[in-house]
Amino acid sequence: MEKINWGIIGCGDVTEVKSGPAFNKVPGSSLIAVMRRDAEKAADYAKRHNVPKWYAAANDLINDPEINAIYIATPPASHEAYALQAIAAGKPVYVEKPMAVNYAAAQNMAAEATAKNVKLCTAHYRRQQPLFIKIKQLLDEKVIGDVRMVQLTLHKTPYTQEQLNNPHFAWRVNPAIAGSGLFYDLAPHQLDILYYFFGAVKTVKGIALNQASLYNAADMVSGTMLFENGIVFNGSWCFSAPAAVDVCEITGSNGSIRFSMFNYTPIELNVNGAVTVFAFENLEHVQQPMIAQVVQYFLGNAANPCSGQEGAEVMRLMEGLMSA
């Protein structure tokens, strides 16, 4: 394989800016086809993004002989089925997060890829972004000493009735499509980057509630995790809060690292009372660094930047945090 010719299944909002254009900006990569069940929208996307071909059926795209890699960007409920079809066709897969609607489905995807010797990557793209690479560097260099604990808080105001009536928002709080509510939409980014930083998790416990009863999914999740290396994690997610909060603080024996998971505000490093700030420019396409690594992996030039097994592990952690 000398070049990756991509086909996208599900050319919706996430592909407009975050990912889609990046496939043509990465060396050795080209986006040649997109698929959406709504043929008119598929054709419109292809026209606006100068994509040569479009399809209204996933099988047609997967079986296109010119396509040698598949990006699955549909809502989570269809990830497993589309991934298994692509794997059966022998085509490597880059799948959006959350990897599936549950741990069992994610495990099945990873196991099938291994059995068929087909490459599978999960789109936990923060792993390749400069801001999070810097945090990992600070941790690896023990700038704050030995890490003791992580405290994460994510609060968001509830969806309005207008948003709940809008399909763009509504599917995210429909368990049948999303697996759960906004926790399943947002927490994968957070849990994966912490898993990437600190490694395997020994125990996970949590509780999930639907406090505001605005939709049929949890709007409050709170829980703890104990990493194998002894680091303790405490997290809370509230999606019916009066104001937005997005903060993660890693505390070590000599200081702390404070940052945002979603707002990309500067990193605040505090070592023995001395504060240093690290700022980064916003990325035009947030997935581009990850897509570049996935392309190199598919070409056989690099390791897997986020495997199916790792994506499945994040699903296990989410289920554990919602266990009560």
Measured in whole angstroms, the distance separating CA 1 from the mean position of its chain's CA atoms is 26
Rg (CA), the chain: 20
Give yes or no for a contact between 49 and 12, defined as CB atoms under 8 angstroms apart: no
Q: What is the pLDDT, as a whole number, of residue 324?
A: 61
Q: What does the buried/exposed string (b/e) look like for 140-150 if buried means 16 or more CB atoms within 10 Å of the residue's CB?
A: eeeebeebeeb
Q: At what angle do helices 79-88 and 103-116 cross, to 10 degrees?
A: 10
What is the structure's pLDDT at 323? Answer: 87
Q: For the chain, 324 residues long, give each residue's pLDDT as a single digit of tens.
A: 789 999 999 998 999 999 999 999 999 999 999 999 999 999 999 999 999 999 999 999 999 999 999 999 999 999 999 999 999 999 999 999 999 999 999 999 999 999 999 999 999 999 999 999 999 999 999 999 999 999 999 999 999 999 999 988 999 999 999 988 999 999 999 999 999 999 999 999 999 999 999 999 999 999 999 999 999 999 999 999 999 999 999 999 999 999 999 999 999 999 999 999 999 999 999 999 999 999 999 999 999 999 999 999 999 999 999 986
CATH 3.30.360.10 residue spans of the chain: 130-282
CA–CA distance, 11 with 72 (Å, rounded to integer) = 9
Q: Are 144 and 154 in contact (CB under 8 A)?
A: no
Summary count for the chain: helices (H), strands (E): 12, 14
CATH number of this structure's domain 130-282: 3.30.360.10
Q: What is the DSSP letter of 307?
A: B
Burial class (CB in 10 A: 0-12, 13-18, 19+), 271: middle
CATH of domain 4-125+287-307: 3.40.50.720
Ranges for all domains in the chain classified under CATH 3.40.50.720? 4-125+287-307
